[in-house]
Amino acid sequence: MKKTYIELKEAFEGFLAGAITPEALKPVAAPLGIYQQRDGNFMVRVRINGGEIACEKLVGLAGILDAAGGHAHLTSRQDIQLHDVPAAHVVDAVVASDRLGLPFKGGGGNTYRNIAVGSDSGLAPDTVFDVYPYAHALNRAMQRVEKAFALPRKLKIGLFANERDRLRAAVQDLGFVAQIRDGVEGFTVFVAGGLGRESSVGLELIGFLPGPQIVRAAVALTELFYDHGDRANRHQARLRFLLKRMGAEAFQRLYLEYFARTAAPVIHVQAEDQGSPLIQGLKRGRTAKPVAGFEMWKHFAVSPTRFGDTVKSVRLFVPYGNLDAGQLRMVAALAAEYGSPFVRLLASQDILIPLVHISALPGLYKRLRQELAEIDLTFTSYKGHIVTCVGASVCKIGMADSPAVADLIAVALDRHLPPDTPEKLRLLKLAADDLRISGCPNSCAGHPAAKIGIECLKRREGDEIKTFAALFAGAGVGADGKVRLSERLPGEPVRLEHLTQKVLELVLQVAQ
Ligand code: SF4
């Protein structure tokens, strides 16, 4: 057993015997991504690099849930969290995940976190190039950089295959956007962006970084952060505060000094075209009479790919990002049966089956509706499909139960915006992709980077503490390429009873 797992085992044994407090357990468990929930059970975060995971590993995780209890939660950072795991089962879950090839190192705490990747990389027709091979090479290299696991605060890296994702790249501590210059693959590099208290857009640090230099760029930033980050004040420790203190020019100068002296390896990424070899093996469907609802579903759940008109990607809308063991197994089995040996987890807490033959779509839709009828994977209601953080019912430091707030809004959207016209379909996409709700200003749902964001807070009214919501809008990328976050709308935070009307108005306004 790895040294960190032995320490974890000893700490949990002490905790279960009552000899170790939750506070004493945290420094051992948190850096691995293990946190105690509000109800006393544990959340065990499994790193899924870029959210790309083989179907057989999903089945393995389902087996772990069978033994440990709890359910899987897909996160906006493309990890899979095992929720509601009793203390007595945590270590077994960790060791079993490791055996699946999903090791625990840096899932939480002051470490380099899961790499985020734009999930349509290598699939979408407008992909600049597939960044997944870079994400996997970078993760392998970073796992060996010990300083990346002893940082002043967490460090988030993201890679994106398209200019469309410029905003997402600009809110990472280190964000890369693919571009090709003179036939060479490379990246625009953003640093020190971040969401949370004092959210900010990162600095565009390097206009074009040749692809093979990506590890060097990440290690240089890690070293800089390790040496210069604020270890005294946790609330000012993220990289964006260092950038603010130093100013852009001094930060850039310092970074380039680190870059010049960093001896990290130049990596040569082998372009792995994951898609092409699989196309011939995709399951074909018989021409059957499509089931009611199929045509509408096709509009919002099915995306084109660069593999031609007959190969599509299919998004499974996962309510609240939650799946129990049986559902996880069924989803994995369906994806594999239709010809995709892997799936991708989306920042919207959904699942993408990357490759499905067009002729198989009606059959797949029918099976999603019939075999997984207890879970709304096809978006028949907004309920569960508005992206939120886990909220205060799970999170110990949260202020509001953000999924419950989303449910209130979903009822109003279901009433006013069912997907029965093209106009309303547009609104559905907006609500599913660009509306985000965080249960406190920590912004774990990423609401400042959403076109419509909601931040919950508590306020005292007489003798009662009530939940209010502050509304944000305006995030996007300007014609000049400049990225902007959503700004808090003028006026006082609204009470929950007025929120649904306000959000509905805002959805209609933003969709204009
Ligand atoms: S935004 Fe707040 S409530 Fe939500 S998960 Fe983060 S810390 Fe918890």
pLDDT tens digits, 174-221: 999 999 999 999 999 999 999 988 899 999 999 999 999 999 999 999
Cα 391 to ligand 1 centroid, rounded to whole Å: 6
Q: Which residues pair with 52 in a beta bridge?
A: 344
What would the mean pLDDT of 130-145 be, rounded to a whole number?
95
Residue 112 per-residue DSSP state: B
Q: Which residues pair with 495 in a beta bridge?
A: 468
Binding-site residues, ligand 1, Cβ < 6 A: 389-392, 395, 397-398, 402, 438-440, 442-444
Q: Options 3.40.50.720, 3.90.480.10, 3.50.90.10, 3.30.720.200; which CATH number does 3-99 get?
A: 3.90.480.10
Residue 416 per-residue DSSP state: H
Cα 458 to ligand 1 centroid, rounded to whole Å: 13
State the pLDDT at residue 136.
95
Q: Could you give the C-alpha distances from 259 to 216, 223, 378, 475, in angstroms and in order?
A: 7, 9, 47, 31
Assign a CATH topology to domain 276-371.
Answer: Alpha-Beta Plaits (3.30.70)
The atom of ligand 1 lying closest to the CA of 445 is 1
The atom of ligand 1 lying closest to the CA of 398 is 3
Least confident range of 43-52, 149-158, 325-334, 396-405: 396-405
Percent of the chain with pLDDT over 70: 98
Give the residue whose CA is nearest to atom 8 of ligand 1: 398
Q: Could you give the C-alpha distances from 251 to 110, 215, 288, 484, in angstroms and in order?
A: 21, 19, 61, 21
- The pLDDT confidence band at residue 509, using thresholds 50, 70 and 90, is confident
What would the mean pLDDT of 125-144 be, rounded to a whole number?
95
Residues of the chain with CATH 3.90.480.10: 3-99
- The pLDDT confidence band at residue 510, using thresholds 50, 70 and 90, is confident
What would the mean pLDDT of 241-257 be, rounded to a whole number?
97
The atom of ligand 1 lying closest to the CA of 399 is 3
Cα 402 to ligand 1 centroid, rounded to whole Å: 9
Give the residue whose CA is nearest to atom 3 of ligand 1: 398
Cα 35 to ligand 1 centroid, rounded to whole Å: 13
Cα 398 to ligand 1 centroid, rounded to whole Å: 5
N-to-C CA span, the chain: 57
What would the mean pLDDT of 450-467 be, rounded to a whole number?
91
Instruction: Give the mutation target among 401, 402, 456, 457 for probing the ligand 1 site: most ligand atoms within 8 A of CB.
Output: 402
- The pLDDT confidence band at residue 462, using thresholds 50, 70 and 90, is confident
State the pLDDT at residue 287.
65
pLDDT tens digits, 15-59: 999 999 999 999 999 999 999 998 999 999 999 999 999 999 999
pLDDT tens digits, 336-367: 999 999 999 999 999 999 999 999 999 999 99
Q: Could you give the C-alpha distances from 7 to 25, 85, 221, 375, 500, in angstroms and in order?
A: 10, 19, 29, 39, 48
Q: Do 507 and 482 meet the contact criterion of CB atoms below 8 Å apart?
A: no
What architecture is domain 124-261?
2-Layer Sandwich (3.30)
Residue 397 per-residue DSSP state: T
Q: Do 302 and 124 meet the contact criterion of CB atoms below 8 Å apart?
A: no
What would the mean pLDDT of 475-499 be, rounded to a whole number?
92
The atom of ligand 1 lying closest to the CA of 395 is 8
pLDDT tens digits, 58-79: 999 999 999 999 999 999 999 9
Cα 103 to ligand 1 centroid, rounded to whole Å: 25
Residues of the chain with CATH 3.30.413.10: 124-261, 387-510
pTM: 0.94
The atom of ligand 1 lying closest to the CA of 440 is 2
Q: Could you give the C-alpha distances from 6 to 43, 61, 99, in angstroms and in order?
A: 19, 21, 15
Rounded CA separation 452/172 (Å): 19
Helix axes 3-16, 22-29, angle to 10 degrees: 170
Cα 108 to ligand 1 centroid, rounded to whole Å: 14
Cα 500 to ligand 1 centroid, rounded to whole Å: 21
Please state, rounded to an integer, the average pLDDT across all residues of the chain. 93
Q: Options 3.40.50.620, 3.30.413.10, 3.40.50.880, 3.30.70.1170; which CATH number does 387-510 get?
A: 3.30.413.10
Rounded CA separation 488/302 (Å): 33
Residues of the chain with CATH 3.30.70.3340: 276-371
